[in-house]
Amino acid sequence: MAKLNQSQVYLLYGVEPYLIQENKDKIIKQALKKEDREFNVSQYDLEEIPVEDVVTDAETFPFLGDGKVVIAASPVFLKAKPDKLSFEHDVDTLLKYIQNPAEYTTLILIAPYEKLDERKKLFKELKKHGEIIHCEPVKEWNMDKWISSLARDLHITVPEDIYELFTQEIGANLMALRNEMEKLALYVGEGGVVTKEVAEQLLSHSAEASGLKLVDAVMERDLGKAIRIYKDLEKVNEEPIALTALLSSQFRIINQAKVLKQKGYAQNQMKTYIKAHPYVIKMALKRERFFTNQELNQIMNELAETDYNLKQGKMEKALAFEMLLYRLIHIKQQAADTKATI
């Protein structure tokens, strides 16, 4: 994380909770001595408390120590369309305070919103007199540096060849990544190495990641693996209808990526035609070469038929999904057998 500029007023905004928390902690450590942090940090919710009460606290001398930190979350008045509250904020009071803040107070405004109205006078004054920190979500392709950074902080080693496993399981969620990394650090101990086996065993699994694992099990013609993945998903109440839709989505993107690749499109050009995240397209391109066009068409037909049968209640759901996995793998096995006899 970049070094923070010294300021009396900060605005943290964005929808990445990990970065908001990290920056907030860093500002507090920068503003207060360790012994003052317990008594000289106050927090307010601006959906419940008027902002003029926050300003009054900010202007009041600290009870103990040389300084204080005042944190005010959810400043709805910074949004283009503020939420309706049971009271009105006196924004002018805050505006005057920002222009001349108390030297003994560090005020932190936390706006967990994707966008703010930067045309508002208040935002412009915050930019002029304070420090604005945009806590935007990290991109999948930047996750490698976060994995490396967190591994250093936790004094563990994560080999680069399993970074993709973390991104596949966790996505671009820094808070979840931090939690998972702390869990792994506790398991391997300081100076320990996180192996692929340990990561696969301990990382929390998302349905999307499991969908890709099911695709890989089909690709590898491993029915046992596919059934084990399904049984794990069944334990966390994932429904066969939802899993069929998830598999359909995965194979549809793989099919689209294959067709576009055959037409000469580069990966960065495909996002215009495939309505999916660039990382998802990247994963699809890694898998499309293991399937022929004919196999993908057969697979899509099987998925459509199973989806219809499940929604019509024509088969017991768990059995229908297991039979689907069998038929998808049989498609791959038939192709392999045909190739072997040629």
pLDDT tens column, 215-227: 888 888 888 888 8
Q: What is the mean pLDDT of residues 163-188?
A: 83
Q: Which two tokens stand for residue 168?
A: 């596949």
- Same-domain pairing of 189 and 93: no
Q: Which of 106, 134, 162 is the last residue of a domain?
A: 134
CATH of the domain at 321: 1.20.272.10
pLDDT tens column, 183-203: 999 999 999 999 988 887 887
Residue in 217, 213, 232, 218 with CA at minimum distance from that of residue 302: 218
Q: What are the Cα distances from residue 178, in Å, to 62, 141, 173, 212, 266? A: 34, 17, 9, 23, 33
Torsion sign over Cα 45, 48, 52, 58? negative
Which residue has 């996180």 as its token pair?
A: 194
Give CA–CA dist 13/22, Å, rounded: 13
Give CA–CA dist 267/90, Å, rounded: 51
Please give the residue range of the domain that contains residue 167.
140-202
Q: Which two tokens stand for residue 266?
A: 């580069």
- Same-domain pairing of 337 and 211: yes
Query: DSSP letter string over 277-321?
Result: -HHHHHHHHHHHTTS-HHHHHHHHHHHHHHHHHHHHT-S-HHHHH
Q: Does residue 1 lie in a domain region? A: no
**Total number of domains in the chain:** 3
pLDDT surpasses 60 at 177: yes
pLDDT surpasses 80 at 121: yes
Report residue 156's pLDDT band, with 50, 70 and 90 as the boundaries.
very high
Predicted local distance difference test score (pLDDT) of residue 205: 62
Tell me which of 53-57, 77-81, 203-207, 329-333 is least confident.
203-207
- Same-domain pairing of 82 and 35: yes
Neighbour count for residue 206 (Cβ, 10 Å): 15
**Is 254 within 8 Å of 322 (Cβ atoms)?**
no
Q: Does residue 118 lie in a domain region? A: yes
The one-letter code for the residue type at 276 is A
pLDDT tens column, 55-78: 999 999 998 888 999 999 999 999
| DSSP code of residue 23 | H
Query: DSSP letter string over 141-164?
Result: GGHHHHHHHHHHHTT-B--GGGHH
Report residue 323's pLDDT band, with 50, 70 and 90 as the boundaries.
very high
Share of the chain above pLDDT 70, in %: 93
Report residue 162's pLDDT band, with 50, 70 and 90 as the boundaries.
confident
- Same-domain pairing of 114 and 90: yes
Q: Which two tokens stand for residue 141?
A: 């392709």
CATH of the domain at 185: 1.10.8.60
Give CA–CA dist 127/114, Å, rounded: 17
CA 46, 71, 19: angle at the middle one, nearest 5? 105
Give CA–CA dist 332/218, Å, rounded: 7
Which residue has 């204080």 as its token pair?
A: 68
- Spacing of C-alpha 265 from chain mean position: 28
Predicted local distance difference test score (pLDDT) of residue 124: 94
**Is 165 within 8 Å of 196 (Cβ atoms)?**
yes
| Residue of higher predicted confidence among 209 and 330 | 330
- Same-domain pairing of 41 and 118: yes
Report residue 282's pLDDT band, with 50, 70 and 90 as the boundaries.
confident
Which residue has 């300084």 as its token pair?
A: 67
pLDDT surpasses 60 at 38: yes
Predicted local distance difference test score (pLDDT) of residue 211: 72
* Plot region of 171 (φ>0 → left; ψ -120 to 50 → alpha; else → beta): left
Tell me which of 5-14, 37-46, 118-127, 229-238 is least confident.
229-238
Number of H helices, E strands in the chain: 15, 5
Predicted local distance difference test score (pLDDT) of residue 218: 86
Q: What is the mean pLDDT of residues 260-285?
A: 86
**Is 221 within 8 Å of 336 (Cβ atoms)?**
yes
Predicted local distance difference test score (pLDDT) of residue 224: 87
Give CA–CA dist 111/43, Å, rounded: 14
Q: Does residue 197 lie in a domain region? A: yes
Share of the chain above pLDDT 90, in %: 51
- Same-domain pairing of 310 and 232: yes
Give CA–CA dist 258/250, Å, rounded: 12
Q: Does residue 116 lie in a domain region? A: yes
| DSSP code of residue 36 | G
